[in-house]
């Protein structure tokens, strides 16, 4: 079995009259996707996430916040695992976009979700987007988490994430990531916020 590709990215907000989410358009296929990319040798997932967001959006990161969760899916016959953080971008770009990216748009949550080409990225953003907005507004700030140790056994063959599926997207898959018991991930922001809300009810 070919090795799993490990990648990282951001759910990136630009603040102003209203918070706007970053989505980027790939040059080769024209797909609209969340900003992310593969780790370089010696990088941690968080370092890779910050670098990739800068390269793909052209905006420096003002702050990296909570670890949000993980997407796993198959591309080119290999499994790809992407860790995401909540990030705030500086208001103005500081460098040109990398050559693989044609454009970046900053959109409200609903428009950003609909702009994404891939159903599993739409589902992920629809799940974590409201929590990102709440956290940015200072509502229900759970403790920080870190991504799980990337020791994968048999990666899933369909897109998966560590949150519950979005009911509005009927075609969105709802697999759980498979990992050895000794590498249980810490709860994502979504899971911790839901636990916090249950404790208040």
> Which ranges constitute the DSSP H helices of 12-118?
45-57, 109-115
Please, what are the domains in the chain? Answer: 5-200 (3.90.79.10)
Q: Is 74 helix (H, G, I), strand (E, B) or coil?
A: strand
Taking the C-alpha atoms of residue 170 and residue 161, their distance in angstroms, rounded to an integer, is: 15
Q: Supply the pLDDT for residue 43.
A: 93
Q: Which residues pair with 81 in a beta bridge?
A: 6, 72
Q: Supply the pLDDT for residue 90.
A: 93
Please, are residues 61 and 90 in contact by the beta-carbon 8 Å criterion? Answer: yes
124: Cβ contacts below 8 Å, ≥ 6 apart? 34, 69, 71, 84, 161, 163
pLDDT tens, per residue, the chain with 201 residues: 578 899 999 999 999 889 999 999 999 889 999 999 999 999 999 999 999 999 999 999 999 999 999 999 988 888 999 999 999 999 889 888 999 999 999 999 999 999 999 999 999 999 999 999 999 888 755 544 556 544 333 333 344 544 433 333 333 333 333 333 333 345 555 666 566 556 655
- Say if pTM beats, i.e. exceeds, 0.75: no
């Amino acid at each position: 079995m070919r090795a799993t590709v490990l990648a990282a990215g951001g759910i990136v907000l630009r603040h102003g009259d209203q918070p706007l989410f970053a989505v980027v358009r790939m040059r080769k296929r024209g797909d609209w996707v969340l900003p992310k990319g593969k780790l370089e040798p010696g990088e941690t997932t968080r370092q890779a996430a910050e670098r990739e967001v800068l390269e793909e959006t052209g905006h420096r990161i003002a702050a990296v916040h909570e670890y949000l969760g993980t997407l796993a899916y198959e591309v080119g016959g290999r499994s790809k695992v992407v860790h995401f953080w909540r990030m705030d971008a500086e208001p103005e770009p500081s460098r040109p976009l990398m050559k693989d990216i044609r454009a970046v748009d900053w959109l409200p949550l609903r428009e950003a979700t609909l702009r994404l080409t891939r159903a599993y990225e739409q589902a992920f953003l629809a799940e974590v987007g409201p929590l990102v907005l709440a956290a940015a507004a200072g509502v229900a700030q759970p403790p920080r988490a870190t991504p799980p140790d990337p020791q994968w056994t048999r990666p899933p063959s369909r897109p998966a994430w560590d949150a519950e599926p979005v009911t509005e997207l009927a075609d969105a898959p709802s697999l759980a990531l498979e990992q050895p018991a000794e590498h249980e991930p810490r709860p994502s922001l979504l899971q911790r916020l839901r636990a916090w809300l249950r404790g208040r009810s």
